[in-house]
Amino acid sequence: MILHRIVDYSHILMKQAVKNGDIVIDGTCGNGHDTLLLAELVGGGGHVYAFDIQSEAVRKTRDRLSAEKVLDQTTVIHDSHGKVEDYIPEKHKGNVQAAIFNLGYLPGSDKSVVTTPDETIASVTNVLSSLKKGGLVVLVVYHGHPGGSEEKDALLEYVTSLNQKEYHVLNYGFINQKRTPPFILAIEKH
């Protein structure tokens, strides 16, 4: 397939942006798939800060990272990505290379526990302020659940308002799929 599926494309973007030694953020670690990818990309010289509000997600992520022997380069935080600024050490502020967020709810869990517009926008704003020049934020926007449409609309309004002299914003998604297909918003700082 020439056109990449949404999650595959988010990983391609991360692989293009992140290298050994980088500092990165997984705003929604979920089952740990993105966190593992990031930990492998940053290697032993870099660091991943991974967030989730659900203890089950934090446990699954730590277990996955431990099994793959990359837990040492990762800090898994049981808290909201909206508080990212509270957890990133001063030495890493302004040095973050990339961040990824899978918005919505954790598959196979309580569907009433979802990301929210205010917390997501606060988190993205904080991450952008810590992002290096040339850094990348990828938002995988799932919006087919209660509250998802409001988060999608708020995010689109937010990223559309970002200064084009400071950021490039990409909207990548399939527009002919039934229901509410996820899409990507990618923000590059220049």
Give the DSSP per-residue string, 99-160. Answer: EEEEES--TTS-TT----HHHHHHHHHHHHHHEEEEEEEEEEE---STTHHHHHHHHHHHHH
Residue 185: beta bridge partners?
139, 171
Which is more confident, 117 or 90? Answer: 90
- Token representation of residue 38: 């990031």
Is 183 part of any domain?
Answer: yes
Check residue 111 and give its pLDDT. 65
Is 1 part of any domain?
Answer: no
Of 53-62, 109-118, 127-136, the one with minimum mean pLDDT is: 109-118
What share of the chain has pLDDT > 70, as a percent?
A: 96
The answer, yes or no, to whether residue 141 has pLDDT greater than 80, is: yes
Q: How far is CA 22 from the centre of its chain?
A: 15
Is 74 part of any domain?
Answer: yes
pLDDT-derived band at 1 (thresholds 50, 70, 90) equals confident
**The domain that contains 49 carries what CATH number?**
3.40.50.150
Is 175 part of any domain?
Answer: yes
Q: How far apart are CA 115 and CA 73, in angstroms?
A: 26
Helix (H) or strand (E) holding 171: strand 167-173
Which amino acid is it at 14?
Answer: M
Is 75 part of any domain?
Answer: yes
Is 128 part of any domain?
Answer: yes
Q: Which burial class, exposed, middle or buried, applies to 43 when counting CB atoms under 10 A from its CB (0-12, 13-18, 19+)? A: middle
pLDDT digits (tens, 9 = 90+) for 148-182: 889 999 999 999 999 999 999 999 999 999 889 99
Q: Which burial class, exposed, middle or buried, applies to 70 when counting CB atoms under 10 A from its CB (0-12, 13-18, 19+)? A: buried
The answer, yes or no, to whether residue 114 has pLDDT greater than 80, is: no
* Domain containing residue 160: 6-189
The answer, yes or no, to whether residue 110 has pLDDT greater than 70, is: no
Which is more confident, 32 or 146? Answer: 32
Is 146 part of any domain?
Answer: yes
pLDDT digits (tens, 9 = 90+) for 19-76: 999 999 999 999 999 999 999 999 999 999 999 999 999 999 999 999 999 999 999 9
Distances (CA, A) of 60 to 10, 35, 52, 122, 170: 21, 11, 11, 26, 31
For the chain, the domain total comes to 1
Which amino acid is it at 29?
Answer: C
Please provide the average confidence, as pLDDT, over all residues in the chain.
94
Q: Taking residues 132-136, what's their average pLDDT?
A: 97
Is 44 part of any domain?
Answer: yes
